Structure 1
Amino acid sequence: MTTLRLGTRRSALATTQSTWVADRLRAAGHDVELVEITTQGDVSGALLTAIGGTGVFAAEIRKALLDGRIDVAVHSLKDLPTAPEPGLVVAAVPAREDPRDVLVARDGLTLGELPAGSVVGTGSPRRTAQLASLGLGLQVRPIRGNVGTRLGLVESGDVDAVVLARAGLARLGLLDRVTEALDPIQVLPAPGQGALAVECREDRVDVREAVAVLEDPDTRARVLAERSLLAALEAGCTAPIGALAEVVEGDDGLELSLRGFAGSEDGSIELRRSLVGPYQEPEQLGARLAQILLEDGASDLEHTSPPAPQDNSEPVS
């Protein structure tokens, strides 16, 4: 095969993730060239909810794949819409980073140590809803920006803390800034958080074979369950959604344990449900748990976005 052209967003986190994939492909004997692509999510200063959600990071890269300008793309899996893209396939899902959210707070404080009235920055309705449901009296402020921008808000005193994905900080070598890893019992991550998607054209058998070395079956099963839940809930409610699947040992072998969250952004309503199912049926498990959440009231929840801040920095993956 000639050199693999690997498309990536230009942010520090995106290029770090893509370089990680490229290095593993090179170790498998392939020549790889990174091709930087600017997406709508990179140039807009509005919150994701105001500019179309997760797909804004993927659309331009996917277009480059379909046009043949690149051979393979690396996405943060949570940035991909749940609906399949005609002509494209997620050819590999590498081993997942720790999917938890983390707190970076002034003075090394944990979530429980932040005084009532403390300002916590996040651009995520999911995090906003779960933080509010804890009843700690925190003020949540919507923010945008790359990892450095968000950490800088804490350093400058603009906010008392920010909540970020642990995976991004780990990939950037910034875990020393974390003051607390948030237990999923308190804050469930976004479906697919911490995982990468390696995507290519469906008809490129040569590329699919080349990237197959990156595949991690356990991660694939976990994210399929989470994204199946997300897809079913997106069709039936507009509430913020969290999900986390884990591989567990059952009486008859490996199983998947899936937890899901749907709630109101003011924290007045929170639905948390869980279900265990066969390892080989992740999508069915996600759909079943979504149905339970819908029957228990998720279909009556509405999502309302906070005002978008004026911030033209690159967003964090």
Structure 2
Amino acid sequence: MSTPIRLGTRRSALAQAQSGHVAAALERISGRRVELVPIVSEGDTNRASLSEIGGLGVFATRLREALLAGQCDFLVHSLKDLPTAVPEGLFIAATPPREDARDVVITRDGTPLHALRAGAKVGTGSPRRIAQVRLRSPRSEVVDIRGNVDSRLARVETGELDAVILAAAGLSRLGSETTLKREELGLAEWPTAPGQGSLAVETTVDAASDLRAALAELDDEDTRLAITVERAILEGLDAGCQAPMAAHAVVTGDSMRVRTIVYDPASERRIGLDVTESLNRGYIRSHGSGDDADAADGADPNRAAREFGLSVARRLLEQGAADLVPREQS
């Protein structure tokens, strides 16, 4: 019997569920058994607010250390939790097809977020969501919360909170069943974090060629191009993955559209762009960006997508976004 492939994963129910989906797909492709290797990250043990510790990549650092130490063969991350810098010796081998990238509001009675009563308590630990709630429901009180999906739902069920904001993809992957009501928030007016709804499959640059080839079959090109643009905007802003900003890109036919907003957490000020770029033979033409990134035959589509995202970030900075986002910490 062949040696199983070891998949390093956090111990949370959501991490185990999304890792299980990837493991099943890889078993079908490779014909080998995939074994989950639970790893405890700082984000699982440090109960401080994500707004205080999130920029450090707390959900990824310990897993990456385990991968580099040979304790597992590859990792599955929630892409929105990953810092934009990939450590030396590692690379993202695949981005499977993206799930629903929207946020959802969970309430007991289905009251829309904008119609919640004055003083209603809305739970979220994300600076981006906090800023968005304050714009959509300014009479509400935002409560900074941590915890898994079930514990957050329970706080609404018991009446401790009137609503929580969660990622639609996480609810879908967990298959959470609840009598609570949900309101889907449209991406046009409520864009989400770079990479939300996407997974990153990461391994070492010197991984066995058969493993790399099998992981590559999990990759979805449209998802990779979209998240590359989104994460390049985050990189260009020099902001952490818990920054009060949103970016969502969609590939449709021969074009890509990205909506991005940087929020001021202390006021209603925000800076946004809605940009559509042409695609040419699967990669982006960066019109007039000044980076000489126009696509040519044989060019790397991911490099072109990154240049596009960086050009969008520069435009945001030119409009004053640097005053609104904290710098990334290493």
TM-score (norm 2): 0.86
Question: What letter is aligned with 1:181?
Answer: E
Question: What letter is aligned with 2:13?
Answer: A
Asked whether the 8 Å contact 1:90–1:200 carries over to 2, the reply is: yes
* Alignment of 1:112 onto 2:135: no
Asked whether the 8 Å contact 1:127–1:187 carries over to 2, the reply is: no
* Alignment of 1:174 onto 2:176: yes
C-alpha displacement of 1:165:
0.6
Closer/same/farther in 2, CA of residues 49 and 267 from structure 1, 3 Å limit: same
Asked whether the 8 Å contact 2:239–2:326 carries over to 1, the reply is: no
Question: What letter is aligned with 2:228?
Answer: L
Aligned to 1:11: 12
Query: Deviations along 1:139-169, whole A, 9 cap, x unmatched?
Result: 1110110001111111111111000111000
C-alpha displacement of 1:303:
5.0
**Number of corresponding residues:** 299
- Aligned-residue CA RMSD (Å): 1.9
* Alignment of 1:62 onto 2:46: no
Residue pairs, 1:74-89, within 5 angstroms: 74-89=76-91
The 1-side partners of 2:126 and 2:66 are apart by 28
Closer/same/farther in 2, CA of residues 221 and 50 from structure 1, 3 Å limit: same
Asked whether the 8 Å contact 1:131–1:267 carries over to 2, the reply is: no
C-alpha displacement of 1:99:
0.5
Secondary structure, counterpart of 2:186 in structure 1: coil
Aligned to 1:276: 276
Asked whether the 8 Å contact 1:93–1:216 carries over to 2, the reply is: yes
- Correspondence for 2:139 among 125, 137, 140: 137
Secondary structure, counterpart of 2:37 in structure 1: strand
Fraction of identical pairs, as percent: 47
Asked whether the 8 Å contact 1:103–1:181 carries over to 2, the reply is: yes
Residue pairs, 1:129-168, within 5 angstroms: 129-134=131-136, 136-168=138-170
The 1-side partners of 2:56 and 2:24 are apart by 26
Aligned to 1:265: 265
Query: Deviations along 1:72-119, whole A, 9 cap, x unmatched?
Result: 110001111101210001001000100011000121222133123211
Q: Which has the higher contact order (CA 8 A, sep 6+)?
A: 1
* Alignment of 1:191 onto 2:194: yes
Give ranges in structure 2 of 5+ residues lacking alignment: 284-303
Question: What letter is aligned with 2:15?
Answer: A
Closer/same/farther in 2, CA of residues 54 and 223 from structure 1, 3 Å limit: farther
The 1-side partners of 2:123 and 2:54 are apart by 21
Question: What letter is aligned with 2:274?
Answer: S
Which 4+ runs in 1 deviate beyond 6 A? none
Closer/same/farther in 2, CA of residues 150 and 118 from structure 1, 3 Å limit: same
The 2-side partners of 1:164 and 1:256 are apart by 26
Aligned to 1:307: none
